[in-house]
Amino acid sequence: MSNLEKTLSIIKPDAVERNLDQEIKNIFLNNDFKIIKEKKIQLEKSDAEKFYKVHETKPFYNDLCAYLSSGPIVVMILEKENAVLSNRELMGATNPKEAKEGTIRKKYGVSIDKNSVHGSDSPENAKIEIEFFFKD
Ligand code: UDP
Ligand code: MG
């Protein structure tokens, strides 16, 4: 049965800084994702704190929010059959050292914090994250 989904993807500051945004967008397009909307923005730290609120009790929360707001990011709505899971597979593991060959994080990730991309982890969170960045 068909299950066309949308998910939120972010190209994080480490990748935008290395001018990898077009290359990463091409990977999505070559893997049958449609880019429905996209924008390049820089977050205030307070916005990053809202976005990553689920992680507020984690030891890495402050550094994570400082990092996500440290430079421009590219935020995209991606659409595909089973987009959430498909994007998580294409991204690879959170730690680039553990990411499989051929994944975005394996290819471009620098470290567990500078891991180049974000992707929603469930259809429910995809809706919340899309609404966070694209309320209209
Ligand atoms: N992160 C980190 N240190 C850790 C775990 C996570 O800096 O020990 C960062 C990393 O950039 C990750 C983000 O926090 O992408 C959110 O963590 P999550 O567990 O949700 O990983 P993801 O869903 O991005 O794979
Ligand atoms: Mg996550």
**pLDDT tens digits, 67-89:** 999 999 999 999 999 999 999 99
Q: pLDDT band at residue 42, thresholds of 50, 70 and 90?
A: very high
Domains of the chain, CATH where assigned: 4-133 (3.30.70.141)
- Residue 111, ligand 1, Cβ within 6 A: no
Query: Ligand 1, closest atom to CA 91?
Result: 25
Residue 77: closest CA among 7, 4, 5? 7
Residue 100 has pLDDT above 80, yes or no: yes
Please give the positions annotated as active site.
Answer: 118
Residue 94 · residue 119 · CB < 8 Å: no
Tokens 């991606």, residue located: 78
- Residue 89, ligand 1, Cβ within 6 A: no
Q: What is the pTM of this model?
A: 0.98
- Residue 58, ligand 1, Cβ within 6 A: no
| Percent of residues in the chain assigned helix, strand, coil, to nearest 5 | 45, 20, 35
Residue nearest to atom 2 of ligand 1 (CA): 113
